[in-house]
Amino acid sequence: MRIYADNAATTKISDSALRAMVECAQKYIGNPSSLHTSGQLAAEELYRCREKMAGLLGANEAREIYFASGGSEADNQAIFSTAYRFKSKGKTHIVSTAFEHHAVLHVLERLEKEGFEVTLVPVNEDGIVKVEDIEKAITDKTCLVTVMAANNEIGTLQPIAQIGKLCREKGVLFHTDAVQAVGHVKINVEEMNIDLLSLSAHKFNGPRGVGALYARRGVILKNLIEGGAQERGKRAGTENLPAIVGMTVALEEAVAKLDAHAEKLITLRDRLIAGLSEIPHSVLNGDKVNRLPSNVNFCFEGIEGESLLLLLDDRGVEASSGSACTSGSLDPSHVLLAIGRPKDVAHGSLRLTLAVENTEEEVDYIIKNTREVVEYLRSISPVWEELEKGEREFIL
């Protein structure tokens, strides 16, 4: 048995998205910038995708959608553009949170080195940012608030609509990294007062290497790549039309099935949470209810996350210890530290992110095998021995 439970890292492309990509590649042979018929047919298809994507996000206009290579690029484009645009006006302060994706945090680190001021507001123990804390952090010099819609490690949903409202009242631009949220929970950029939004197709059963940045009309972007006039002159390069078509089809499908999928996933998720909670000295990371329908994230005391992952993989369970981006480094997850987990505990984390194809039998298999592997690892752990002998105090 192989159970893929790492859908926050990437998802399987849907059959309809894949089919649409192949058909597009065969049908639209022209470059959308070419003036001949083949080129114009491709340009029309590109526009249809832009229009559909805008509609699916609740945007007013097709031209508010800028196609990109994925979530990382969209995050970079949104934050750098806003920072550099407001620099000359003396607005050099950015508000964000301590548990953003590295595509946001590393951009902010670079801006700090360039003289910008960044405030990372803390996150509650339940993994949810308080709107009041964002409000307190905003100053006269703030040009941008960037807060993710759903956390990629612990799945917690952030009060995006309230933060959007606050930013609108304060006259500050609001960007949200909605890579984990789009296609999984309801997002409407107009209703939520979002000025800039990043998304990535491979997180909602679309192809890899394609995404989009929504930028409200009037929000000016910086040229990311110089060259041709593609993407309203903000990102040169011949458009990857098959990938854009695949993304559009995947998002249409995800949005149409959002409620039905969420209902099924929540049942599976809560079964998994209930089962894993029975493991002694364990804790669920992030709010139990206010989280993505697919996300389960636990810490097990006295366990090293990497060993747990490898032994689970041996048994056919594919999971993650945090984000794909941090595994491979020995630092504990910045997300788990942000919600107040001590370093020792944060090392023993397990993220399981389900897909709607998963079954109750698979969930039960994951529970049984996680329990056995945790027991085994504890039985050979010197730390666990100290804990049991009372030479060290249990944290969980």
Given candidates 158, 200, 320, 353, which one binds ligand PLP under the rule CB under 6 A? 200
Return the percent helix, strand and coil in the chain, to nearest 5: 45, 15, 40
Q: Which is nearer to ligand PLP, 21 or 367 (CB)?
A: 21
Residue 325 annotated as catalytic:
yes
Q: Kind and range of the H or E element at 53?
A: helix 37-57
Identify residues 121-180 at the interface with ligand PLP (CB under 6 A): 148, 152, 177, 179-180
Identify residues 204-243 at the interface with ligand PLP (CB under 6 A): 211
Q: Which is nearer to ligand PLP, 155 or 305 (CB)?
A: 155
**Secondary structure (DSSP) of 256-320:** HTHHHHHHHHHHHHHHHHHHHHTSSSEEE-S-SSSB-TTEEEEEETT--HHHHHHHHHHTTEE-B
Q: Which of 24, 167, 299, 325 is catalytic?
A: 325
Q: How far is the CB of 354 from ligand PLP (least distance, A)?
A: 15
Q: How far is the CB of 100 from ligand PLP (least distance, A)?
A: 8
Q: Which is nearer to ligand PLP, 105 or 374 (CB)?
A: 105
* Site residue total, ligand PLP (CB under 6 A): 14
Which residues, in sequence order, are bridge partners of residue 299?
Answer: 283, 349
* Residue 361, Cβ density class (10 Å: 0-12 exposed, 13-18 middle, ≥19 buried): exposed
Given candidates 95, 103, 107, 172, which one binds ligand PLP under the rule CB under 6 A? 103
Identify residues 251-290 at the interface with ligand PLP (CB under 6 A): none
- Pairing mode of beta strands 142-146, 317-318: unpaired
Q: Which is nearer to ligand PLP, 75 or 362 (CB)?
A: 75
Q: How far is the CB of 385 from ligand PLP (least distance, A)?
A: 37
Spatial separation of the C-alpha atoms in residues 102 and 79, rounded to whole Å: 13
Spatial separation of the C-alpha atoms in residues 298 and 287, rounded to whole Å: 11
Spatial separation of the C-alpha atoms in residues 202 and 209, rounded to whole Å: 8
Identify residues 317-356 at the interface with ligand PLP (CB under 6 A): none
Q: Which is nearer to ligand PLP, 176 or 370 (CB)?
A: 176
Q: What letter would DSSP give residue 265?
A: H
Q: Which is nearer to ligand PLP, 277 or 290 (CB)?
A: 290
Q: What are phi and psi of 66, to 5 degrees?
A: -115, 120
CB 202 within 8 A of CB 243: no
Q: Maximum Cα–Cα distance for the chain, whole Å?
A: 79
Q: How far is the CB of 200 from ligand PLP (least distance, A)?
A: 3
3-state secondary structure of 334: helix
Per-residue contact flags (x/-) with ligand PLP for residues 31 to 70, judged by CB under 6 A = ---------------------------------------x
Spatial separation of the C-alpha atoms in residues 243 and 53, rounded to whole Å: 13
Q: How far is the CB of 216 from ligand PLP (least distance, A)?
A: 20
Catalytic residue IDs = 325
Q: By the criterion CB under 6 A, which residues form the site for ligand PLP? A: 70-72, 75, 101, 103, 148, 152, 177, 179-180, 200, 203, 211
